[in-house]
């Protein structure tokens, strides 16, 4: 199974003991979130709805591509891929 890196955005680092990257073995993006959640319980609920869909205010990118433009959570992973979790951010530091 490919080993991939998941980049954790700051708002979700509370789940990963402040780690900004986590390495997981998974065949597809949904699998990677599942493995991530097994190691860091609770994080998946911030990314997926209770029905298991991607939340509308979170985007997952594999490399430069949004998984919504690929095969969603079924998007296949290759060895060394980088998954970036990109949340909507409000801050303008006002």
Partner 1 sequence: MKAKDRLLAELRASVPQVAPADAVAMQARGVPLVDVRDPEEVSQGSPVGAHRVGRGRLELRIEEIAPDTAAPLLVMCDSGTCSLFATEDLRRLGYSDVRSVTGGFTRWKNEGLPVEVPRGLDRDYRERYSRHLLMPEVGDAGQQRLLDSSVLIVGAGGLGSPAAMYLAAAGVGRLALVDHDVVDRSNLQRQILHTDARVGTPKIESARATLKALNPNVDVVGIGERLTRGNVERLFAGYDVIVDGTDNFPSRYLINDACVRLGLPNVHGAVYRFEGQVSVFWPAGGSGPCYRCLFPEPPPPEMAPSCAEAGVMGVLPGVIGLLQAVETVKILLGLGELLVGRMLYYDALRARFSELRVPRNPACRYCAEGAEFPGYVDYERFCAGAS
Stretch near partner 1 under the rule CB under 8 A, chosen from 23-31, 33-41, 63-71, 72-80: 63-71
Where does 8-78 show beta strands of DSSP type E? 21-25, 58-62, 65-66
| Residue with smaller CB distance to partner 1, 1 or 80 | 80
CA atoms within 13 A on the CB side of 56: 0
For partner 1, the binding residue among 6, 61, 73, 75 (CB under 8 A) is 61
Stretch near partner 1 under the rule CB under 8 A, chosen from 29-37, 56-64, 73-81: 56-64
Measured distance CA(75)–CA(60) in Å, rounded: 10
Q: Does 19 bind partner 1 (CB under 8 A)?
A: no
Measured distance CA(91)–CA(71) in Å, rounded: 30
For partner 1, the binding residue among 2, 5, 9, 76 (CB under 8 A) is 9
Measured distance CA(21)–CA(44) in Å, rounded: 15
Give contact residues for partner 1 (rule: CB under 8 A): 7, 9-11, 20, 46, 55-59, 61, 64-66, 68-69, 84, 86-94
């Amino acid at each position: 199974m490919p080993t991939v890196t998941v980049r954790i955005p700051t708002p979700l680092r509370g789940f990963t003991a402040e780690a900004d990257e986590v390495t997981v073995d998974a065949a597809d993006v949904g699998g990677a979130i599942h493995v991530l959640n097994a190691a860091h319980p609770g994080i998946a609920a911030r990314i997926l709805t209770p029905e298991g869909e991607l939340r509308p205010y979170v985007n997952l990118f594999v490399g430069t591509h949004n998984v919504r433009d690929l095969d969603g959570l079924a998007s296949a992973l290759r060895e060394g891929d980088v998954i970036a979790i990109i949340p909507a951010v409000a801050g303008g530091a006002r």
